[in-house]
């Protein structure tokens, strides 16, 4: 990828798939050095939401054409849960959804019809083209999920939904539509919530949980002098000094490490990690050469 990146101009908007999963970043190139690619990253509403730094040797797939990226921006979903059947709204507005099936497979699709005991879908491929039309029984459909932009970030008390197959969802704004529960599942530190639809028959319990983490939104880019500070060590130092949350990933990590840096040493960082419930739960050491992806998402620990 180094040879490809040499021919890309600063300021170009590109897309990068993270490692070998379906996670995807769109961003504007700030700097390319011998080891790292620095991006202004964008959210699904194409607003800047922080900085991401990729280890170039870990990048396996790049989208170069910005027209492809713009064409595939996700539509902001405004669903009226009270006055209209949500399934009919999905059909009439041709809203792209993600469906999770009992066998564990996940497909992107359009809902075209809902019967009493079945659903009809048009299944999409990675290029958003329809590849098949399928009928799926009600009991085989595990979950419908819709990504949605959130205009105002709020941290509040969540409920934990536990299903009969031991899945757990951090949820808020719960409502019912016939035999289905509809709720928002907040993605950690992103202006995105997943609108989830699951059958009430799947639910084992719903319990309360309080989010304790005290964070506030603040623009990390305001701390950066882009002419001299675009260096991974300098970025980590500013995160340490200003208590910004960092997100560090590696293809071999079990999950992304999220937390605040407590110390910066010659070849490693020390950090307090945060769990999905907003609690500090362990201390970690991460060596610089383990950082394949560093993201700062404009969240600062309350001071």
User: If you average pLDDT over residues 129-134, what whole number do you get?
Assistant: 93
Task: Determine, yes or no, domain membership for 164.
Answer: yes
**What percentage of the chain has pLDDT greater than the value 70?**
84
**pLDDT per residue as tens digits for the range 1-17:** 777 777 788 888 888 87
Using the predicted structure, report yes or no on whether residue 222 has a pLDDT greater than 80.
yes
**pLDDT per residue as tens digits for the range 159-204:** 889 999 888 888 888 888 888 999 888 666 655 677 899 999 999 9
Q: Residue 68 — very low, low, confident or very high, per pLDDT cuts 50/70/90?
A: very low
Q: Quick count: other Cβ atoms within 10 Å of Cβ 102?
A: 12
State how many domains the chain has: 2
Q: Does 222 lie in the same domain as 134?
A: no
- pLDDT confidence of residue 256: 87
Enumerate residues 6+ apart whose C-beta is below 8 A from 227: none
Q: Does 150 lie in the same domain as 100?
A: yes
Final residue of a structural domain among 188, 209, 230: 209
Q: Does 100 lie in the same domain as 196?
A: yes
Least confident of 6-10, 153-157, 278-282, 285-289: 153-157
Task: Determine, yes or no, domain membership for 75.
Answer: no
Q: Does 181 lie in the same domain as 107?
A: yes
Task: Determine the Cα–Cα distance for residues 120 and 105; give it in Å rounded to an integer.
Answer: 16
- Token pair for 239: 């995160």
Task: Determine the Cα–Cα distance for residues 57 and 38; give it in Å rounded to an integer.
Answer: 13
Instruction: List alpha helices for the chain, DSSP H.
Output: 2-6, 66-71, 86-92, 232-242
Q: Does 190 lie in the same domain as 124?
A: yes
What is the 3-state composition of the chain as percent helix, strand, coil, each rounded to the nearest 5?
Answer: 15, 50, 35
Which DSSP category does 77 fall into? P
User: If you average pLDDT over residues 26-42, what whole number do you get?
Assistant: 88
Task: Determine, yes or no, domain membership for 147.
Answer: yes
Using the predicted structure, report yes or no on whether residue 62 has a pLDDT greater than 70.
yes
Using the predicted structure, report yes or no on whether residue 110 has a pLDDT greater than 70.
yes
Q: Does 169 lie in the same domain as 250?
A: no
Q: Does 201 lie in the same domain as 91?
A: yes
Enumerate residues 6+ apart whose C-beta is below 8 A from 18: 24, 25, 249, 293
User: If you average pLDDT over residues 69-90, what whole number do you get?
Assistant: 63
87 vs 7, higher pLDDT: 87
Using the predicted structure, report yes or no on whether residue 120 has a pLDDT greater than 70.
yes
Task: Determine the Cα–Cα distance for residues 83 and 79; give it in Å rounded to an integer.
Answer: 10
- pLDDT confidence of residue 185: 82
**pLDDT per residue as tens digits for the range 242-284:** 999 899 999 888 888 989 999 999 899 999 998 877 778 889 9
Q: Does 297 lie in the same domain as 185?
A: no
The CATH number given to whatever domain includes residue 92 is 2.30.30.100
Task: Determine, yes or no, domain membership for 223.
Answer: yes
Q: Does 105 lie in the same domain as 66?
A: no
- Note down the domain range covering 127: 86-209
- pLDDT confidence of residue 198: 93
Burial 252-274 (b: 16+ CB within 10 A, else e): eeeeebbbbbeebeeebbebebb
Q: Does 220 lie in the same domain as 191?
A: no
**What percentage of the chain has pLDDT greater than the value 90?**
36
User: If you average pLDDT over residues 38-52, what whole number do you get?
Assistant: 80
Contact status, residue 131 vs residue 123, Cβ threshold 8 Å: yes
Per DSSP, the three-state class of 4 is helix
Enumerate residues 6+ apart whose C-beta is below 8 A from 86: 79, 177, 180, 182, 197
Q: Does 94 lie in the same domain as 203?
A: yes
Task: Determine, yes or no, domain membership for 80.
Answer: no
Task: Determine, yes or no, domain membership for 275.
Answer: yes
Enumerate residues 6+ apart whose C-beta is below 8 A from 211: 155, 156, 157, 158, 277, 278
- pLDDT confidence of residue 188: 61
User: If you average pLDDT over residues 125-142, what whole number do you get?
Assistant: 90
The CATH number given to whatever domain includes residue 225 is 2.30.30.600
Q: Does 62 lie in the same domain as 90?
A: no
Using the predicted structure, report yes or no on whether residue 81 has a pLDDT greater than 60.
no
- Token pair for 156: 């509040």
- pLDDT confidence of residue 278: 73
Task: Determine, yes or no, domain membership for 79.
Answer: no
Using the predicted structure, report yes or no on whether residue 43 has a pLDDT greater than 80.
no
Task: Determine the Cα–Cα distance for residues 121 and 302; give it in Å rounded to an integer.
Answer: 45
Contact status, residue 255 vs residue 241, Cβ threshold 8 Å: no
Using the predicted structure, report yes or no on whether residue 67 has a pLDDT greater than 70.
no
Task: Determine the Cα–Cα distance for residues 26 and 68; give it in Å rounded to an integer.
Answer: 11
- Average pLDDT of the chain? 83
Which DSSP category does 201 fall into? G
Final residue of a structural domain among 165, 189, 209: 209
Task: Determine, yes or no, domain membership for 78.
Answer: no
Contact status, residue 182 vs residue 174, Cβ threshold 8 Å: yes
Final residue of a structural domain among 177, 209, 241: 209
């Amino acid at each position: 990828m180094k040879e490809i990146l040499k021919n890309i101009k600063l300021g170009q908007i590109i897309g990068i798939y993270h490692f070998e999963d379906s996670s995807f970043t769109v961003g504007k190139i700030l700097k390319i050095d011998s080891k790292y690619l620095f991006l202004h990253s964008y959210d699904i509403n194409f607003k800047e939401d922080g900085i991401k730094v990729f280890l170039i040797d870990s990048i396996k797939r790049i989208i170069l054409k910005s027209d492809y990226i713009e064409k595939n921006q996700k539509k902001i979903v405004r669903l009226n849960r009270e006055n209209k059947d949500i399934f009919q709204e999905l059909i009439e507005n041709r809203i792209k959804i993600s469906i999770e099936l009992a066998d564990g497979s996940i497909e992107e699709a359009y809902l075209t019809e809902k019967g009493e005991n079945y659903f009809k879908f048009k299944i999409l491929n990675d290029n958003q083209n329809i590849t098949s039309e399928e009928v799926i029984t009600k009991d085989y459909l595990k979950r419908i999920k819709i990504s949605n932009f959130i205009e105002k970030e709020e941290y509040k008390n969540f409920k934990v939904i536990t299903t009969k197959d031991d899945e757990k969802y951090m949820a808020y704004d719960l409502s019912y539509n016939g035999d289905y529960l509809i709720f928002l599942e907040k993605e950690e530190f992103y202006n995105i919530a997943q609108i989830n639809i699951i059958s009430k028959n799947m639910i084992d319990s719903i319990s309360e949980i309080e989010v304790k983490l005290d964070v506030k939104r603040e623009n990390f880019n305001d701390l950066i002098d882009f002419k001299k500070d675009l260096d991974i060590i300098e970025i980590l130092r500013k995160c340490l000094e200003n208590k910004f949350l960092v997100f560090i990933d590696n293809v071999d990590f079990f999950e992304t490490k999220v937390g605040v840096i407590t110390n910066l040493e010659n070849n490693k960082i020390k950090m307090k990690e945060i769990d999905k419930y907003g609690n500090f739960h362990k201390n970690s050491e991460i060596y610089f050469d383990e950082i394949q992806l560093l993201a700062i998402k404009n969240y600062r620990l309350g001071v």
